[in-house]
Every structure is written in C-alpha cells, then in structure tokens.
Amino acid sequence: MKRESVFTTRVSALLLLIASVSGSVAESKAAKLRTIVTTDGEADDRCSMIRFLLYANEWDVRGLIHSSSKHHWKGDATHPEKKWTDVHWLNRQLDHYATAYPNLKLHDPGFPTPEYLKQQVFVGNIVYEGDMEKATPGSDRIAEVLLEADSSPIWLQAWGGANTIARALKSIEEQHPQRIAEVTRKAKLFLIASQDTTTEDYILKNWPGIFVVHSSGAYLAIAYRWEQVMTPEEQRLFDRDWMAKNILKNHGSLCAAYEARKDGAFRSEGDSPAFMHLIEIGLRNLEQPSYGGWGGRFEWAGNQWRSAPDDGSITRPIMRWATPFQNDWAARADWCVKSYREANHPPQVRLAHATDLLAKPGEQVNFSARLSTDPDRDHLTCKWWHYPEAGSYRGQLAIESPGQIETSFVVPATAKAKDTIHIVCEVTDNGTPALTRYRRVIIEVVDK
C-alpha cells in the first residue's frame, strides 16, 4: 500500500482537487463487483433477500442459488425433509421486485431487470445437510462463473451451508485441475456461521489459500435475538414503529413482502452482513477484512478471517454502524415509490488529500473533506474519529475539532514505527432519512 508524506500531500492538494473530478467519472464507469448468493430459504434469508434486492444495482449479480444447510434441506428417500421452504419463494420475491423496478431505475439505471435476475436463479445441492455428492444446476452455475476468463474477484455468499459452493469447486478440481490456482485467486467466500462442515472438510483442505471470510459471531447483531445485544436506542431502529413507517407500509409490494415478526418488528437478517460487506461506502473494508465495515470486522485465524470484537463485543463491529445502515435501507425503500427529487441519495465523500499517509510521532496531520458533495444538494456535516481496533496503534489520540469539515491531530509520541492509525471521515447529509458515507485515512508511523 503506497503512502504519501504529509508534506507531499499538502503540495499536491491542488492536483488532487482536479483529480477528484476526473476520478468521479472513472468511479462511475468502474466494473461492478461480481457476486453469487447461495441461500437455504430460511425466514431470515427471505428477509435478507428483500434488502439485497434493494441494493442489486451495486453488484454484477451472477447467481441466486438455492442450497441446503444443517437447519434446512429438502430431503429424499433416505434423508427426511427438515424445515424446507418451497424454492419458489425467490421467484415470488422477484415478481415483487418487478413492480418496484420501474421506480428503482429512476434512482439508478444500474438496477438489473427482473428478467435478468430470474435468469440467475438456480437450484443447487439441497437434498441434505452438506450435500455435495452430485453436480447440480446451481453448482454448475458457480463453476461456470468461476471459470470465466474475467480475472476479477467473485464473491460467493453462503447464507446457508457452503455445500453448493463446495460442489462447484469439486467439479472444477475434477474437470479442470489445471485452473485450480486461477480459480483460487478469484474466489472469495463470505460465510455466515458454520451451517454445514463442507468448508472445513473439503474447501479448506483441498483449496489451500482460498480466501474465506467467516462471520462467526458478528452476524448475531441482526439475527433472531437482536434485542439481546442492542441498546434501547438501537432497538428503536428495528422496532414495530420504525419498520411500519420506513419499510412495511406505503413502500410498495416488495417491501410489504418483508416477513416481519408477528408484532410488526424486524425479524432477523443474520445473512445480510454477507452483502453489507460488499456495499461500497468508502470504508475500504474490501482491501482488508480487519479494517471493518457494515458487514463486520475480522481477524486472521490461520486459514480464514473470523469475526473480531470491537470494545470487547463480537457484535459491536456491526452495531456501531446501525443508524447509518438502517437509514440507508429506509432510503432504498423510498426509492421503490418516490421520484428522484422526493427521495434522498447518499453524499459523495472526497478528501483534499491522499487516503494513505506517512507521519512521524509529534507531527501534525491535517485532514479536509471540503471536496465532498451531495446529489440532492443537502447540507453536509462531518465527523472524524479514530478506529483503534482497525489499526495497530490502540492508544488515545486527540482529534482537533472532530465535527468540522477540516481538522487535524498530532501523532502521539507513544506511537512506534510501522504503527498504523485509522481515521474515519464520516459525512452525513440532512435529508430524510439522513444518509452517511465515509472515507478512511490510514496513517503509517515512520521513524523520528
């Protein structure tokens, strides 16, 4: 990761101002992240899918694939069915998406057509827990995408078990062994819990070096027992009144199809962190899972990335972003029924300096988000804060005027060479609902 000195950054501020304009054009033309979802059709998967579809413009969706888990499978003559949901639930949701699509594309023409998304639906390995005995249309689809000439990453989300993904990899191992290294470089797995043993028993043993992010605990923040881990203030973002006002009522049939609890409150979206990790919001978490973002923060565990705690809490790495991501969801629900002018859209955070800096202990580092804009011309407020768990420097530091658009801090004398300090710039508009985007600045401490 290339970093610039504070002095170089100051000299080049004017050039960065010019580059920010051309950079925004380049960003808009950048290829979308490719992703495939596998799901066991549990109630919380169905809830997560509603939210996922409201963000479908963010990615190149290459598969929506039914799979099994230790909680749900279809069964056959030798495997009794276990709590299986008819696979047609996904097409029914896409029918609702079709009613919202004409309005959604007013807010971003990049939303995929309902017809395209229906073409991405496949049935994978669903017969029993850990089923990967035979290739299926779903596993074949995953293998097909992994074998495409495109070298860009493919994020494989396992909302249930990883068995259909495992079967796809096994087919590649058997039929295209010469391409194992290539596929290993492209495949990125995001697992929600351990919902079968195929990751440990097959994937990690036979595909050493494959990239695995495992939400081994953080997902509980928004799973079925969410009230047990949330503060009363956080619970208000998930309660009956909030859900009725922002999602369930007067937002079209897609949002109305959300399966809330009987009391009308949020049910569970334990699988949503898998795609929340992939929403580009400026936190740079795709560079390194340890940086943290809406989908959680992770630490290396030898052969995979696993959930890491913030402030001693395994759910805090998700809950610290609860207000922004719930407000963002509410804005997406508005996109289903409101015109562009009536709805709110997120600000665009641009800094007047690089996002990777070098600085010495005792040196002042200046920050500026003055180039930030808002598509709705809303007023913007700014908050700068230190994310200690994301970096290696965990000590205290004082940011001067953290609520101003321009600020600074002095690198603590206790910081050592090679320490990294993560400063998050959080910009929020005053629209309804208020929306937030970010830029993360990483300062590497150098010798005095």
182 and 329 belong to one structural domain: yes
From 310, 335, 360, give the residue that closes a domain: 335
Q: How far apart are CA 254 and CA 120, in angstroms?
A: 19
Among 10, 2, 13, 3, residue whose Cα is nearest residue 364: 10
Q: Beta strands of 316-378 (E only): which ranges?
A: 356-359, 364-368
User: Same domain, yes or no, for 239 and 382?
Assistant: no
Residue 211 lies in a domain: yes
Is this structure's pTM higher than 0.75?
yes
Residues 13 and 152 in one domain: no
Do 62 and 16 have their domain in common?
Answer: no
- pLDDT for residue 30: 67
Q: Distances from the Cα of 106 to the Cαs of 42, 72, 337, 376, in angstroms?
A: 32, 38, 10, 14
Split into its structural domains, the chain has a count of 2
**Mean pLDDT in residue range 250-254:** 98
Containing structural domain, residue 400: 4-25+345-445
pLDDT(48) > 60: yes
Q: What SS3 class is residue 34?
A: strand
Question: Same domain for 321 and 419?
Answer: no
Q: Let me know if residue 54 belongs to a domain.
A: yes
331 lies in some domain: yes
State the CATH number of the domain containing residue 210.
3.90.245.10
Verify that 175 and 258 share a domain, yes or no.
yes
Please indicate, yes or no, if residue 340 is contained in any of the structural domains. no
pLDDT at res. 18: 37
295 domain-assigned: yes
330 in helix, strand or coil?
A: helix
Together in a domain, 269 and 238: yes
Number of CB atoms found within 10 A of residue 235's CB = 16
Could you give the percent of the chain with pLDDT greater than 70? 93
Q: Which of 285, 303, 335 is the C-terminal boundary of a domain?
A: 335
Rounded mean pLDDT, 58-78 = 98
Same domain, 73 and 174: yes
Domain boundary at 335, 362, 388, which?
Answer: 335
Which pairing describes strands 380-386 and 399-400: parallel, antiparallel, or unpaired? unpaired
Residue 404's CATH number: 2.60.40.10
Residues 417 and 318 in one domain: no
- Say whether both 289 and 372 belong to one domain: no
Tell whether 100 and 241 lie within a shared domain.
yes
251 and 362 in a single domain? The answer is: no
3: pLDDT confidence band, cut at 50, 70 and 90?
Answer: low
